[in-house]
């Protein structure tokens, strides 16, 4: 039934087409979802989310027992998602006081969170100390000194990791590279020894390990292997020079996701687990280091494919011998990735999945920017006003980066599973939009 619809491989694993030719996700007819909840609507397949959590836990732990999977909350976080991550037994990588607060609101065990960020405020660090965040991943010398001072004032001694920038190049978009030497994140290798020595000397901090994160949408293992080698070389050198003991190693995330049919399928978790854990073992053996406790931080690869955006088609504008614009009722306010990163995505008509392609169409958002283009030159059946357009791989970063441009309302989100849909975030209203205004 679906073998002649290649784009379905980009949708959640529990996706199909019913007798009416409608797209079905998690047993729910997406056309009916659009009618019930309105559009734009983001739909998350709950089973797909849980399966990814299980996959990462299983594949890494059977190769490196005791590995802790930390979900990178910046990819997508709301209270329902935080609760799901808690139920699946994952930890959480958080980067702000807001994310910390969302986790706390569902009684997420904050001792299982790692607090990241290149410019944490004093208030956020006080919040982390008060809440008992498990690890604070320190990014720079300013933060080291500020955290030591704040910890002394609160009579706390937090456990910290240092984020090291290993200087590894990854072949991805410049805006999602984080491990090269010219980065706002972390201590570069040239200052890493000083950072470790400083952290060890501060009385109110407990340094237990090192962290790196090299970027996102990475298909190959080689950059990770280089980074692991550099970081464990550093750890061994600091053990000889300063007696530093590496008890914990956080190797970040960034695993690839397939966003369109012109890119290869994303490797499974086992591909990264096999290579990365083997490299950690090899390098520790080479340097005579005991195996540290291992942490990984998948985010995008957990949620991206599980999320689908549904839009209602409005104006179809033909410009002879140029292109046809198909305008939808969302756009850059709910998915800025095409404008920000040049992200290339696919789509299909959810109410006419099997319809034959009639040409190429450019999907335009409704916002007052010429750059508000979701997809260029997309092969489709000819769209008509009232069609439902489904865009796959929208689970990561679309919602967290959403805004109220043109005083638009942020979208509703539903979770689907076994034919049932539940609203996990209602659509914003005018009251929400003006709540903070003072006249």
3-state secondary structure 260-328: CCCCCCCCCHHHHHHHHHHHHHHHHHHHCCCCCEEEECCCHHHHCCCEEEEEEEEEEEEECCCEEEEEE
Structurally, the chain folds into a number of domains equal to 2
pLDDT attached to residue 181: 63
Q: Is residue 439 part of a domain?
A: no
pLDDT attached to residue 179: 46
Q: Is residue 28 part of a domain?
A: yes
* Domain harbouring 325, CATH code: 2.40.37.10
In sequence order, the 6+-apart residues with CB closer than 8 A to the CB of 177 are 169, 170, 183, 214, 215
pLDDT attached to residue 326: 98
* Judgement on whether residues 220 and 312 belong to the same structural domain of the protein: no
Largest CA distance in the chain: 72
Residue 143 CA, distance from chain mean position? 25
* Judgement on whether residues 174 and 265 belong to the same structural domain of the protein: yes
What domain range includes position 111?
47-303
Residues facing 388 on adjacent strands: 312
* Judgement on whether residues 343 and 424 belong to the same structural domain of the protein: yes
Last residue of one domain, picked from the residues 303, 329, 354: 303
Last residue of one domain, picked from the residues 280, 303, 326: 303
* Domain harbouring 70, CATH code: 3.20.20.10
Catalytic residue list contains 403: no
Residues of the chain predicted below pLDDT 50: 1-2, 173-179
Last residue of one domain, picked from the residues 264, 286, 303: 303
pTM, to two decimals: 0.95
CA distance 166 to 249: 14
Place of tokens 């994952």: 90
Q: Which of 28, 78, 131, 368 is catalytic?
A: 368
CA distance 366 to 312: 11
pLDDT attached to residue 183: 76
Q: Is residue 224 part of a domain?
A: yes
pLDDT attached to residue 176: 42
CA distance 375 to 352: 18
Q: Is residue 1 part of a domain?
A: no
Place of tokens 């300013």: 142
* Judgement on whether residues 181 and 213 belong to the same structural domain of the protein: yes
Distance, first Cα to last Cα, the chain: 58
Q: Is residue 346 part of a domain?
A: yes
pLDDT attached to residue 311: 98
* Judgement on whether residues 270 and 139 belong to the same structural domain of the protein: yes
């Amino acid at each position: 039934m679906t073998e002649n619809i290649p784009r379905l491989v980009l949708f959640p694993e529990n996706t199909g087409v019913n007798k009416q030719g409608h797209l079905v996700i998690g047993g729910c007819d997406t056309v009916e979802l659009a009618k019930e909840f309105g559009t734009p609507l983001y739909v998350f397949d709950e089973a797909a989310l849980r399966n990814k959590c299980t996959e990462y836990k299983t594949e890494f732990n059977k190769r490196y027992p005791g590995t802790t999977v930390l979900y990178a909350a910046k990819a997508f976080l709301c209270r329902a998602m935080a609760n799901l991550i808690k139920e699946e037994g994952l930890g959480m990588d958080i980067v702000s006081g807001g994310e910390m607060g969302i986790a706390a609101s569902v009684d997420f065990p904050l001792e299982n969170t790692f607090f990241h960020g290149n410019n944490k405020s004093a208030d956020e660090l006080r919040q982390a100390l008060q809440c008992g965040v498990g690890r604070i991943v320190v990014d720079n010398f300013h933060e080291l000194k500020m955290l030591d001072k704040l910890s002394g004032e609160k009579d706390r001694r937090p456990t910290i990791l240092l984020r090291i920038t290993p200087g590894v190049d990854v072949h991805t978009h410049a805006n999602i590279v984080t491990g090269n030497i010219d980065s706002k994140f972390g201590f570069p290798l040239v200052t890493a020894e000083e950072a470790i020595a400083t952290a060890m000397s501060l009385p109110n901090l407990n340094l237990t390990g090192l962290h790196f994160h090299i970027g996102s949408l990475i298909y190959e293992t080689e950059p990770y292997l280089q980074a692991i080698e550099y970081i464990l070389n550093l750890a061994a050198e600091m053990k000889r020079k300063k007696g530093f003991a590496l008890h914990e190693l956080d190797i970040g995330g960034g695993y690839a996701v397939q966003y369109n049919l012109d890119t290869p399928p994303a490797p499974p978790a086992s591909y990264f687990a096999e290579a990365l854990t083997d490299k950690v073992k090899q390098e520790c053996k080479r340097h005579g280091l005991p195996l540290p406790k291992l942490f990984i931080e998948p985010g995008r690869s957990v949620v991206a494919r599980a999320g689908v955006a549904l839009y209602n088609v409005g104006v179809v504008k033909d410009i002879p011998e140029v292109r046809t614009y198909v305008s939808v009722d969302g756009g850059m306010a709910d998915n800025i990735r095409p404008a920000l990163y040049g992200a290339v995505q696919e789509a299909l008509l959810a109410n006419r999945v099997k319809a034959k392609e009639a040409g190429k169409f450019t999907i335009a958002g409704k916002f007052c920017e010429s750059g508000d283009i979701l997809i260029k030159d997309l092969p489709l059946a000819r769209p008509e006003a009232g069609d439902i357009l489904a865009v796959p791989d929208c689970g990561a970063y679309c919602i967290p980066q959403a805004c109220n441009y043109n005083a638009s309302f942020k979208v509703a989100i539903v979770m689907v599973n076994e034919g049932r849909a539940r609203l996990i975030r209602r659509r914003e209203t005018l009251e929400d939009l003006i709540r903070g205004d003072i006249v």
